[in-house]
């Protein structure tokens, strides 16, 4: 381990675990990524899983740990209650829960909830959001955080005012891997390309206000049977249809002219950059990995000042 | 077996096999239902599977068999080519293919296809459609055949002019059984009720022109976490959202004032009756089981006159 590590921070989700050791400025001194999501970790023990990963980075026994994500859910390590919107995001810091009965100082950051006629929840993205807001000094506008469950958050006066969640990524995985479309997509599910004309075609169909998504999905199968649409085309069209539906839905809710901050990394960032551009939305981009690390670092340094 | 059996007819789909022995007027003299869909039957042999079911009804060796459904697909027993729309449905009769290399006279009815900028296919529903058209002397209007892949067919001058397919039933099964919503729905997936206020609420949301389906889906999960939405409410809301999306899409395509013939049986008929009524569409109902049997009987009596 690096002698300079001051905090360990982790984004612990349903299917992924990411751990970073940070110095007192928030600079990464070591990192670790694994598939130790909730189900695996529950079976083995959350504390054991965490300690194994910390040991592999040779983290000392007194290094404090801050965690965000589904580890704080009812199915996780310990439930961290939600903070309700509208919320100043620093409220999530004071709501962190400390794990009892273990030697190490480990705390889990709460999620955000929204009650009323559009109930909603998030866990993990609130920390990413905090990082993005600090990074760009955001106080208003929309923040889009695409993924398995894409989150769109409306900011006002420096607070998270309201948010919505779209099942885009999960639906893509289900349809590509488990529906009739699996015969058309097969192993190509990971080959979605923002440059593929079928991605653009799918986006444009849904952005134009088409309400026939359930019909367009089967159309992918028919195009494969009748027109030999190849697997990578089918995968790209499916992705375009779903991302287009998400963005059309968000535009319906938030208006067409809103300023968006896109928080995404890698392939996801490329796909949504293309989609937001085609939708005619003006936007700015923040790297999602950096945002969540920044949010975790802020939480760590507030909860355990150096 | 009954001495009066003149034909055996079967609807052989991806997951279900239904067989009827009919007399020379089309009256059912014996029937059999099983889960011997394509995958099971391919492994065991299509001819063996069919003969076992026929033997259980004591059908004689020279009884001719007419089959519709996915047994005629590329993944089925023998591929029966598609007939293109616009099509007079009697064309599907002359396109039936005879299985070679077996003793019994077995023929499979082709499906319908649609090329051009909205490619589409059906197998099985063309026979149901033929039965419904003959039963009601339909020559124009829309025919809705809900199910795993709901089909909406536009009729003109007694022909099938065009059609569309909605992934409604398949998406319901995927979301209720395999997505994050499975935690909210669990064993209640089969408890959808047309009388449940959540079914109505889901329908109304989507029929009103809401484009946020991907957001409303996650809302079911949030309502369970924050408001204790019970499993049967979650199942009914999910069904309402999906059926509402299907009907809103069909209305967008075909107009709000079109006359619909609903071809459905059992619980499906009840749900769509409620949904079409809420959508303000005028419609007439035909039992789906009777329609497919009638279509199969017409095919059998034309291909093998008594």
Residue with tokens 């009884």: B63
DSSP single-letter state for residue B123: S
| Candidates B149, B219, B248; nearest CB to A120 | B219
Average pLDDT, chain B: 94
Whether the predicted pLDDT of B305 surpasses 80? no
- More confident of the two residues A143 and B4: A143
Best of B38, B119, B123, B205 to disrupt the A interface (most A CBs within 10 Å) is B119
pLDDT of residue B156: 96
Q: What average pLDDT score do residues B58-68 get?
A: 96
For chain A, the three-class secondary structure string (H helix, E strand, C coil) is: CCCCCCEEEEEECCCCEEEEEECCCCCEEEEEEECCCHHHHHHHCHHHHHHHHHHHCCCCCCCCEEEECHHHCCCCCCCCCCEECCECCCHHHHCCEECCCCCCCEEECCCEEECCCCCEEECCHHHHHHHHHHHHCCCCEEEEECCCCEEEEEEECCEEEEEEEECHHHHHHHHHHHCCCHHHHHHHHHCCCCCCHHHHHHHHHHHCCCCCHHHHHHHHHHHHHHHCCCHHHHHHHHHHHHHHHHHHHHHHHHCCCCCEEEECCHHHHHHHHHHHHHCCCCEEEECHHHHHHHHHHHHHHHHCCC
Residue B16, both tokens: 């279900």
What percent of chain A clears pLDDT 70, i.e. is strictly above it?
99
Question: Distance (Å) from the C-alpha of residue B97 to the closest C-alpha of chain A?
Answer: 19
- Minimum CA–CA partner of A168 in chain B: B214
B41-56 confidence digits (pLDDT tens): 999 999 999 999 999 9
pLDDT of residue A255: 86
What percent of chain B clears pLDDT 90, i.e. is strictly above it?
87
Contact B121 A225 (CB under 8 A): yes
- Minimum CA–CA partner of B74 in chain A: A225
Structural class in CATH, domain B7-138 = alpha beta
CA dihedral B180, B184, B190, B196 (to 10 degrees): -130
pLDDT of residue A305: 77
Q: What average pLDDT score do residues B236-245 get?
A: 97
Question: Distance (Å) from the C-alpha of residue B115 to the closest C-alpha of chain A?
Answer: 7
| Candidates B118, B170, B212; nearest CB to A219 | B118
Q: How far is CA B181 from CA A41, A176, A224, B175, B177, in A?
A: 21, 18, 30, 6, 8
pLDDT along chain A (306 residues), means of 10: 84 94 96 93 96 96 96 94 94 91 96 94 97 96 96 97 96 96 92 96 92 92 93 97 95 88 97 97 96 96 82
Count of C-beta atoms within a 10 Å radius of residue B257: 9
Is residue A269 within 8 Å of A285, Cβ to Cβ?
yes
pLDDT of residue B3: 65
Q: Which residues of B touch A115 (CB under 8 A)?
A: 226-227
| Candidates A114, A166, A226; nearest CB to B215 | A166
Phi-psi region of B104 (alpha: psi -120 to 50; beta: other; left: phi over 0): beta
Q: Which residues of A touch B185 (CB under 8 A)?
A: none
Whether the predicted pLDDT of B251 surpasses 80? yes
Best of A218, A237, A238, A250 to disrupt the B interface (most B CBs within 10 Å) is A218
Best of A165, A202, A211, A241 to disrupt the B interface (most B CBs within 10 Å) is A211
The two domains B7-138 and B166-287 share their CATH topology (first three levels equal): yes
Contact B226 A113 (CB under 8 A): yes
Full DSSP string of B36-69: --HHHHHHH-HHHHHHHHHHHTT--TT--EEEES
pLDDT of residue B39: 85
* ipTM value: 0.90
Whether the predicted pLDDT of B140 surpasses 70? yes
pLDDT of residue B306: 65
- Minimum CA–CA partner of A167 in chain B: B214
Cis peptide before B86 (omega within 30 of 0): yes
Helix, strand, coil content of chain B in percent (nearest 5): 45, 20, 35
Q: Specify the CATH number of the domain B166-287.
A: 3.30.420.310
| Candidates B74, B175, B249; nearest CB to A214 | B249
| Candidates B115, B178, B242; nearest CB to A178 | B178
Whether the predicted pLDDT of B255 surpasses 90? no
Q: Show me where the domains of chain B are located.
A: 7-138, 166-287
pLDDT band per the 50, 70, 90 thresholds, residue B181: very high
Contact A119 B222 (CB under 8 A): yes
Among residues B47, B253, B18, B205, which one has the least CA distance to residue B127? B18
Q: What average pLDDT score do residues B113-131 get?
A: 95
């Amino acid at each position: 381990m690096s002698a300079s590590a001051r905090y360990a921070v982790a984004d612990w989700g349903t299917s992924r675990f990411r751990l970073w050791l940070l110095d007192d400025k928030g600079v990464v001194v070591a990192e670790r990524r694994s598939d130790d999501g909730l189900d695996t970790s529950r079976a083995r023990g959350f504390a054991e899983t965490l300690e194994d990963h910390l040991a592999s980075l040779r983290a000392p026994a007194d290094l404090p740990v801050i965690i965000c994500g589904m580890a704080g859910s009812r199915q996780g390590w310990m439930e961290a209650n939600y903070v309700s919107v509208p919320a100043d995001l620093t409220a999530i810091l004071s709501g962190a829960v400390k794990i009892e009965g273990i030697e190490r100082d480990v705390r889990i950051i709460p999620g955000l909830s929204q009650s009323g006629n559009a109930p909603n929840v998030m866990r993990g993205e609130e920390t990413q959001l905090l990082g993005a807001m600090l990074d760009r000094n955001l106080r208003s506008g929309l923040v889009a955080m695409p993924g398995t469950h894409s989150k769109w958050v409306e900011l006002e006066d420096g607070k998270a005012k309201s948010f919505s969640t779209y099942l885009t990524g999960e639906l893509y995985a289900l349809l590509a891997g488990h529906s009739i479309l699996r015969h058309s997509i097969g192993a190509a599910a990971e080959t979605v390309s923002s440059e593929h004309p079928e991605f653009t075609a799918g986006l444009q169909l849904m952005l134009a206000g088409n309400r026939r998504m359930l019909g367009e999905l089967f159309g992918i199968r028919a195009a494969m049977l009748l027109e030999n649409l190849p697997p990578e085309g089918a995968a790209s069209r499916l992705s375009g249809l779903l991302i287009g539906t998400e963005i059309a839905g968000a535009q319906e809710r938030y208006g067409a002219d809103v300023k968006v901050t896109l928080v995404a990394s890698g392939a996801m960032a490329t796909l949504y950059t293309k989609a937001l551009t085609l939708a005619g939305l003006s936007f700015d981009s923040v790297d999602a990995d950096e945002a969540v690390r920044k949010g975790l670092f802020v939480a760590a340094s507030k909860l355990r000042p150096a």
